[in-house]
Structure 1
């Protein structure tokens, strides 16, 4: 027999969901806007030795949203499988093939997020599901915390990759949460940080 939650418990649960969704959506939005204004090459090109790229981060986030808020709770959503489940080529969800368009990947991500939001709205936080691949059971609350942390982490990856592409920084359009300063200010700041690192390590200053 299912217990009916009191109005107080329901209110607390609604607040928890709202708070988690606020931070999750903030990360989703940041991940997508990091692609804006870039060429087809720049959203796809690898900027780290392990191949990290902007469009691949969105593709991976799609797979994660679909996994944790789709099949885990018996609400499947068609999306790439995360390679970590053992059902795809290693790292296949972290990059886009030439045949996969930017519009297709971004559109599927938006759809996966909408599907996830519907799952979150439909189920209580203590609803139990099983992550595909033989993993242990998880609650919806666990899934929300996990996806919020994971998406924020990948939004941070996107911050660095976008800065490496064209120098654009910030959590949102307009550079919010980034210190004000022109190119000369940032060059001086970087030099100051470099000098601090060398001094701490006992290394000589770089030659002019």
Structure 2
């Protein structure tokens, strides 16, 4: 029997971050320009905006925080930008530009992750002074959680658009439309009875 060798913690965290990035981007597959931009919640949550947001904050957390600026200016983070400008795409911003930003952001972040040890220290200038000093380990966890959170939002938004749900990893049962309808009716019935 081969002895167990614990995986490298940085490689493990990085792998999970990459998985979440891929799952977020995959939610745009097969949708037209309107659908990737359409606000699906009262607060305007939309697929392309989620990608734009994650790409943007990832650049700051793995760039500015560790003194590794990307050289890319993000106008939606300017002091005079409107609130939440990073959460939606203007008509002039193309899907390709935002996907390019996401790829650039991932590559820049990956370079930081590869170059530094988990114990490398950085500073998050937009966090309160008491919590401002961080390690790469902390930021890797933070951005993996942030990306997973928004990938989950994207999963629900995509299901609302065209019914496509999950990420083809076997975690969602394979059911017909009729079976999903019956499942939902059962949950609705339980909710009615519970009140």
Match status 1:187 vs 2:181 = yes
Whose radius of gyration is greater, 1 or 2?
A: 1
1:94 aligned residue: 87
The equivalent of 1:71 in structure 2 is 64
In the other structure, the counterpart of 1:196 is 190
Deviations 1:24-62 (A, max 9, x none): 111100100000000000000000000000000000001
The reply on whether 1:160 has 2:153 as its aligned counterpart is no
Partner SS state of residue 122, structure 2: strand
Q: How many residues align?
A: 187
Show the counterpart of 1:41: 34
Residue ranges of structure 2 left out of the alignment (5+ in a row): none
1:129 is paired with a residue of what secondary structure?
strand
Q: Which residue of 2 aligns with 1:132?
A: 125
Task: Measure, in 2, the Cα distance between the counterparts of 1:187 and 1:134.
Answer: 45
Give yes or no for contact 1:63–1:79 (8 Å, CA) kept in 2.
Answer: no
Q: Which runs of 5+ in 1 are unaligned?
A: 1-10, 202-208
Q: Which has the higher contact order (CA 8 A, sep 6+)?
A: 2
Task: Say if 2:96 is the partner of 1:103.
Answer: yes
Contact 1:31 1:155 in 2 (8 A): yes
Q: 1:82 to 1:196 in 2, by over 3 A?
A: farther
Deviation at 1:63, TM superposition (A): 1.1
Given the two structures, how large is their TM-score scaled by the length of structure 2? 0.90
Give the SS at the match of 2:68.
coil
Which shows bigger deviation, 124-133 or 100-109?
124-133
TM-superposed deviation, 1:132: 3.0
Give the Å deviation of 1:178.
1.0
